[in-house]
Amino acid sequence: MKELLQKHKQYLLTGVSYVIPFIACGGILIALSLTYAFHFHLLNDKGAPDPAQGPWFVQNMFTIGVAAFTLFPAVLAGFISYGMAGKPGLVPGFIGGFIAGTPQLVEGKNVSAGFLGALVIGLVAGHVVNALKKLPIAKILRPIMPIIVIPILSALIVGFLMLALNLPIAKVFLHLNHFLESMESGSQIVLALILGAMIAFDMGGPVNKTAFFFGVAMIQQGNFAIMGACAAAICTPPIGLGLATLLARKRWTEEQRESGLAALGMGLVGVTEGAIPFAASDPLRVIPTIMFGSMIASTIAMLGGVGDHAPHGGPIVLPVVDKPLIYVLAIVTGAVVTAVTINLVKQFTEKTATPAK
């Protein structure tokens, strides 16, 4: 059972690894064109920024970004299925994911099963293809299996299933959105704390990605606060640890001081992975500390009403963030808290604890 779950995690992460560049590309292009429209007051009749009124370049940049984002559920499901079933998994995975990403009208709002639906249908597609591969087939028919029988049969099965699943999954998202919107400030803090802890916990691993994708999904639904909280939490661990090596140089080894500078750089462009060299050598002290720092950053961002329009974190997304000053404040506070805490923790435990490798 444990092995089965492990395998499925591997399939999901395979899809995630292929989809990350799509999200970064689409998200940043969309965010840049929205920022342009916002800055020059090109608003539609609902008061939202409208890049279609911008110059030729901005309009097209928006279209290109939207194209990358539209592909996202299809690519995600396609490569989850590919990870499980190989080449024959691509057709039903892409089709299922495409259907999951197609918006439909529910309770007067345009929603899609999106990321969540794509995750589920990608796994289903992989299983369907693997089952079809096992069908007993006469030898003369074998060549047509991979190019005709499996693609058509699996696409039909997965397609119909996704069409049936679409509405319930879209409704879950809608309810989640209602729930978040209706949250009082008290429970908003809880949400921000959870997101911050998740982002820092495995620095780019599956737990981090779950929180991250939740933020991305919420951007698609027009809620930017979740991603705002995530964005602040994403860059706090590497920046905080880098800062710590600068603040107390003699407490860190030569090697760590070097990775400290690299961590600062990675933090600035929103790559939590920069903290890994520290956490790998000293997880018991580093991981709780960076979780603490990220929780503080995400909470400040959430309470301050920071919104992030791009599915990415760190100071690099500053131009597309609502309330940039509070965003910076959140990151700086989180980073300083991380740096001071880890140095204090090291000071009080260095002699008793086993030395780091």
Q: Can you give the binding site for another protein, defined by CB under 8 A?
A: 9-11, 13-14, 16-17, 20-21, 82-84, 204-206, 209, 271, 273-274, 276-277, 280
Report the residue number, 36 or 82, with the smaller CB distance to another protein: 82
Q: What is the distance between the alpha carbons of residues 288 and 18, in angstroms, rounded to a whole number?
A: 30
Q: Which two tokens stand for residue 39?
A: 């800055």
Token look-up 């370049």 returns: 57
Q: Shortest distance, CB of residue 99 to another protein, whole angstroms?
A: 23
* Alpha-carbon torsion angle 47, 49, 55, 56, nearest 10: -120
Q: What is the distance between the alpha carbons of residues 250 and 254, in angstroms, rounded to a whole number?
A: 9
Q: Shortest distance, CB of residue 204 to another protein, whole angstroms?
A: 5
Q: Shortest distance, CB of residue 286 to another protein, whole angstroms?
A: 13
Q: Which two tokens stand for residue 264?
A: 């600062």
Report the residue number, 191 or 285, with the smaller CB distance to another protein: 285
Report the residue number, 215 or 277, with the smaller CB distance to another protein: 277
Q: Shortest distance, CB of residue 328 to another protein, whole angstroms?
A: 25
> How far, in whole angstroms, is CA 220 from its chain's centroid?
12
Q: Shortest distance, CB of residue 203 to another protein, whole angstroms?
A: 9
Q: Shortest distance, CB of residue 94 to another protein, whole angstroms?
A: 16
Q: Which two tokens stand for residue 45?
A: 């009749």
Report the residue number, 13 or 174, with the smaller CB distance to another protein: 13
Is the C-alpha dihedral spanning 268, 271, 272, 275 positive or negative?
negative
Task: Give the Cβ contact number of residue 300 at 10 Å.
Answer: 22
Report the residue number, 77 or 193, with the smaller CB distance to another protein: 77
- Which amino acid, residue 272? T
Report the residue number, 39 or 142, with the smaller CB distance to another protein: 142
Report the residue number, 49 or 93, with the smaller CB distance to another protein: 93
The contacts found for 282-290 with CB under 8 angstroms, 24 or more apart, are 282/356, 284/353, 285/342, 285/345, 285/346, 285/349, 285/353, 286/241, 286/342, 287/200, 287/201, 289/240, 289/338, 289/341, 289/342, 289/345, 290/200, 290/203, 290/236, 290/237, 290/240, 290/241, 290/338, 290/342
Q: Shortest distance, CB of residue 209 to another protein, whole angstroms?
A: 7
